[in-house]
Structure 1
Amino acid sequence: MAGFMQQIINGLSIGSVYALMAVGYSLVYSIMNFSNFAHGGVIMIGAYIGFFLLAAYKMPFYVAFALAGAGAGLLALIIERVAYSPLRKRKAPFLYFIISAMGASIFLENIVIATIGPTFKTYPKVFSTQPITVGSLSVGRLDLIMFVISAISLAILIFVIEKTKIGMAIRGTAYSVRASALMGVNTDHVIMIVFGLGGLLGGIAGMLFGMKYTVYPQIGFITIKSFIAAVFGGLGSLPGAVIGSVLLGIIETLTSGYLSSQFRDLIAFALLIVVLIVRPMGLMGKFTEDKA
C-alpha cells in the first residue's frame, strides 16, 4: 500500500506540470479551434531562459522563475502575431494554422541547436535533494515545489477566467467569436491574451520540468504528453485539461512502478487512441465537428 501511495504522489507531481502545459493547448483550442503545436517550442524556450538565468547569471530562483514565464509568454505573443494573425485575417483553413504551428516549432528547435547547441544541460541545484519523509512515504522537495507552484498557477488562471472581465471576454469568445465581436469584444486582443497566458504557464512548466530532468532542444516533444492529456480531458475544457493531466501522470508512474518504464509512453499513446475512438470529445469536452 505504501508503494502504491508513493507512485500516486509521484504521479501528482508530474501530472501537475503536464496540466500547466495542457491548459495552453486548451486555451488556444477553445477560441481558435486548432491545436497549437508551436506550444512545445515555447515551453522549450522557457526552460532555457530559466536555466541560463540560474546557471550563468546566478539569479535568485523567484526572479528566474518570473522571467522564464514572462519570456515564454512574450514569445507566444510573437508567434501569434507572426504565424497566426495573418492567417486569421485571411480566414485561412485550419490546416494552414497547423502547418504554420509545426513550422514555428521546427524553427525554434533548430535555432536553439544552431546557437546554443544540441547538448543536454542540467540545472544547478536550487533546492535541497533531501526528501521529506512522512511515515513510510518520501516526497522530494522539488516534486512538492512543482506541485504547489502548478496548483497555485492553475488556481490563479481559473480565478482570472471565472471571476474577471477579461475572463468573461475569453469565455464569451470561446463560445462564439462572431457573437462576441458583435457585442463589442475586441476578439483580437482576447486571442493575444490567451496566447500570452498559455505561453506564461508553458514557460513555468518548462522551467519546472527542466529542473527535475534536463534541458535540451527537443524538450518540446514532452508536450505530446500534455496534448494527450488535453485530449483525454477534453480539448477546450480547462478543468478537463487539468484532470486529464493528473490522471495521465498517475497512469504513467503506476505503469513505470508496476510494469516497466518502457511501457510508459506505450500506455499514454494507447490511451489517446482509445479516447479518440470511444469518446472523441474527452472526459469534459464538448462535441465539435472541427477538431484539428
Structure 2
Amino acid sequence: MTEDADRRAAMDAAVRRLQHALAAIGAAPLSQPSNPTVLDEVAAALAPLGLPVEVDQLWRLVDGDSSSLTCFPHPHATSPAFALECWREHQQQPGMTPDLLFPVGYESHAYLLVERDGPHGRGGACFTWASGGLNPFVLVATDLTAYLEVAAETLEAGHLERHERDGSVFNLFDDEAFQEALRARLRREPHPVYGAAAEIGWDPPAWPVHWLASVGPAADEQHARGATTTIAALRASAASTGSAGRVHALVREIWGFSDGTRPTIDDGTGVLDVWCPAAVTMFGPRCDGRYEFDLVTGQDLPHHAEAEATAVRLLSPEA
C-alpha cells in the first residue's frame, strides 16, 4: 500500500472505532456525507496546496455537520462547506491565521485547525485556537486520525458528562479528560516537527517560516529596511506633487474598519493619519507600537478612513 492508502485506512479504522464507542453509549450513528461533491470545491479552492488525506477521508465517510456528530469533543466537528467558508473569511483578514491551517472544527469562537500539505512536506498536525483574543495555536494531535482515536478512547473509558434538558438526557465529552488523553498521546508519539507539546504565538512574527510562506512573500518581509524620510518631509512634498517614503513612527491611536485600519502615527517631526488596507496589516499596526510604514500620498483613499497617506508595506522595525 502507498502512504496515502495507509493513512486513509487508518482513518477508516478510527471512524469505525468511534462508531462503536458512540453506539455503546446510545448516541446516534454517524451519518454519511449529504454532498460529497463539495470536496471538489474545497480541493479547487485550496490548490495547489491540499488537505491531508485523512481529513479528506473523514469527510468522505462522515457528514461533518453537528447534527451527525452529536457527541464530539469541543470544538465541534464542522462540515467541509462551513470549513471552507471560515477559511476564506480568515484569508480576508491577513495575520488572523496562516493559510496553511484549515478548520475542521468550530464552536463558540474556538477552532480545531489542521496543517495542510505543502512545500514544507506532509501536513496533518492538529491545533486548537480561539479567535477574539491573544490566544496561541496549541498542538493537540499529530494528525486527525490520532485525534479521533483519542476521542473514541475517551468514550470507551466512560469519560462523559450527562446533561438533562427539557426532559431529555444527553451526553457531552468530559473535555478535561479528553485533553489530558491527547497530551498523553503526544508524549508517547510526539510530532516529528513540533514535538510532544507546542504553543505557537497568535502574532505572525511568532509563526514558523512555512506558515508565513503560506500567506505569500511574508517570510521575506520580516526585516525592517530603515527610514528614508520623515512625516514632516513627506507632508512638505505631498503638498505639491505627492510623495513616497519610509518612516518609523509610533501609533498614537487606531481606528478599525472592515477593509483595513487607520492609525494616527507620530515620528517626532509630525503626526499623520494613514490608511492601512487589510492586505498589509499582517504585522500590525497596534496602538503604542512602533512600525515601519512604506507610505505613498496622492492616492484615492476610502472616504471613511479620513487618511492622508496609504501604507503599501508595514512591519514592526524591531522584527
TM-score range, shorter chain: under 0.3
Report the structure, 1 or 2, having the larger helix content. Answer: 1
- Decide which structure has the larger Cα Rg and report it: 2
Report the structure, 1 or 2, having the larger strand content. Answer: 2
Higher relative contact order (CA 8 A, sep 6+): 1
